[in-house]
Each structure stands twice: as C-alpha cells, then as structure tokens.
Amino acid sequence: MKTTGGKEGLNRSTIQHKVVVMMGASSGIGEATTKKLAEEGAKLVIAAHAKWLD
C-alpha cells in the first residue's frame, strides 16, 4: 500500500474503494488501522476473536 508518509497518513486516492481484509481488528494496532482505513474510504472485511468464545 502506497503511503504519503508523515502526518498525512494513507494516500486517500490509493485506498478508496479498495477491499482490505483485516485480522485482529478488535484491539491494538489492528483496531487503529481498521479505523483509519475506514476513515480513508476503504471497504473492510474484519476478523477478530475473543478467548471467551473458545
């Protein structure tokens, strides 16, 4: 994925309308990345698990 670097974050024109599959989207860096991708216009397929579901 092409980025603009620095504080600008993701290059909106390269991520808009793309489908991104995110694993670990419920916490930490996965959660933060998922939120940023959504803000930038990506279409998301997200996956996460919780221990209590075992």
Q: Give the model's confidence band at 53: pLDDT under 50 very low, under 70 low, under 90 confident, else very high.
A: low
- Tell me what pLDDT residue 42 has: 93
- Asked, for residue 1, whether it belongs to a domain, the answer is no
- Asked, for residue 25, whether it belongs to a domain, the answer is yes
16-30 mean pLDDT: 89
- Count how many residues are written for the chain: 54
- Asked, for residue 41, whether it belongs to a domain, the answer is yes
- Tell me what pLDDT residue 21 has: 94
Q: How many domains does the chain have?
A: 1
- Asked, for residue 46, whether it belongs to a domain, the answer is yes
**Do residues 1 and 14 lie in contact, with contact meaning Cβ atoms separated by under 8 Å?**
yes
Segment 21-27 long-range contacts (CB within 8 Å, at least 24 positions apart): 21/45, 21/46, 21/47, 22/46, 22/47, 23/47, 23/48, 24/48, 26/50
Provide the domain limits for residue 45. 6-53
Nearest to 12 by CA among 42, 45, 46: 42
